[in-house]
Amino acid sequence: MKLFSIKNNNELCEKIKAYCKENWSKVYDDFAEIADKSVTAEMLPQTWVLYGKHPGDQRQNIIGFYQLAEKDHLTVHSDLTPFITTLFVDPAFRGGELYGKALLDHAREQLGQMGYDTAYLHSNLIGYYERYGFAEIGLDITDYNSPTKVYSADTLTDIRYEIYDKANPKPDHVRLAVYQLRNPLHESKAWHLWFNKTNGFPDCWKANGFTITAFSRVQVIGAVNFLQAPDDLKGWYLGDLHVEGDFRRQGIASKMLRKGFEYISRISNGGEYIYAYIEKDNDPSIGLHKKLGFTDTGEVRPFGELIFGDDETTWVKYL
């Protein structure tokens, strides 16, 4: 199995267009348009061609393809980008070899190399993309009036993300590492033993909430807590956002927050809102939250029994 880009390769572009027209004529017009643009595009769109050997044939033949595009005809989630689209594997190669997974992983790697932290796609297949790391994030209608489901997955980079909640609590070593992000650790071995055996530093999710934690290999490099309001199930608070210094300005904070928003959307019925409390002179935090759709209320709104400073205002995002 080999994958080739058609960038700067007009001959391969024409071959894959002909293959698509023969094997998946329904999508040919869109596919051909993206393929033509892929030949000269700097980043997006892209078209990748899968080669493999048919049984009894030692020659390498085209057996599939996929494309990457900024948008993919959605009307509700029209702000999302980028998309994996028109993924196809020859029927003779479906099943045990997992060529579909190979194409999806390759696409996520390509998008990760371009600096994207999330890959999107939409499909009506039931249970297929979930097997390969994608989660359904909502329903949509295409601009050609077809209902569809929207999926997302992390791009594949050296950074990975974990969600910890009541059903999946933090392991002790992760709990200690998250605490270490913002606090100097005691050198005493006895202190570490005590920490691992107690709830001396309980996490927000122990009430009703969850934690997003970012890892670089096995090192914890970031975390954020989301806490559900005790008297309003549609209200959420996010706090304790932190990214290790060497890993800042790489989009990790944005990625953790977006994953939190998607998690809340999956477990809720709609109409949720999220509070963040930001110091008035914290320009980096203000810029981050503005980019993610938060607006400043200009006041300090209460959230349970949490206490906030006089120099903070409440920012809110509606899902």
CATH of the domain at 301: 3.40.630.30
Coil vs helix vs strand at 184: coil
**Same domain (yes/no): 238, 279:** yes
Check residue 204 and give its pLDDT.
46
Quote helix, strand, coil % in the chain, to nearest 5: 30, 30, 35
Q: Please tell me whether the peptide bond between 82 and the residue prior to it is cis, using omega within 30 degrees of 0.
A: yes
| Measured distance CA(92)–CA(86) in Å, rounded | 18
- Tens place of pLDDT for every residue, the chain, 319 residues? 899 999 999 999 999 999 999 999 999 999 999 999 999 999 999 999 999 988 777 789 999 999 999 999 999 999 999 999 999 999 989 876 689 999 999 999 999 888 888 899 999 998 999 999 999 999 999 999 999 999 999 898 888 899 998 888 888 778 888 877 877 766 666 755 655 555 444 454 445 889 999 999 889 999 999 999 888 889 999 988 999 989 998 889 998 999 999 899 888 888 899 999 999 999 999 999 999 999 999 999 988 878 788 899 999 999 8
Domain count along the chain: 2
Q: Is residue 141 located within the same domain as residue 175?
A: no
Two structure tokens written together for 216 = 């670089």
* Same-domain status, 46 and 63: yes
Sign of CA dihedral 68, 73, 74, 78: positive
Say whether both 172 and 114 belong to one domain.
no
pLDDT tens digits for range 275-306: 999 999 999 999 999 999 999 999 999 888 78
Nearest to 175 by CA among 148, 204, 154, 149: 204
* Best CA proximity match to 286, nearest among 278, 172, 116, 131: 278
Structure tokens belonging to residue 13: 């572009």
Same domain, 119 and 223: no
154 vs 286: CA distance, rounded Å:
25
Based on the fold, state whether residues 142 and 207 are members of the same structural domain. no
Q: Which residue range is the domain that position 273 belongs to?
A: 159-318
Q: What is the pLDDT of residues 174-214, one digit of tens each?
A: 888 887 787 776 666 675 565 555 544 445 444 588 999 99
Across the strands, what pairs with 237? Answer: 227, 275
Phi, psi of 199 (to 5 degrees): -105, 45
Report which DSSP code applies to 142.
B
Q: What is the pTM of this model?
A: 0.64
- In sequence order, what are the beta bridge partners of 153? 119
Q: How many CB atoms are closer than 10 A to CB 59?
A: 7
Rg (CA), the chain: 23
Does 190 lie in the same domain as 127?
no
Q: What pLDDT is stored for residue 188 in this prediction?
A: 67
β-strand partners of 229: 232
Is 166 in the same domain as 295?
yes
Q: Which of 28, 33, 26, 36 is nearest to 6 (CA)?
A: 36
Could you tell me the two tokens for 286?
Answer: 């203000």
Are 161 and 152 within 8 A, CB to CB?
no
Spatial contact of 87 and 100, defined as CB atoms under 8 Å apart: yes
Find all residues with CB under 8 Å of 120, minimum gap 6, and list them. Answer: 72, 77, 80, 81, 82, 83, 84, 150, 151, 152
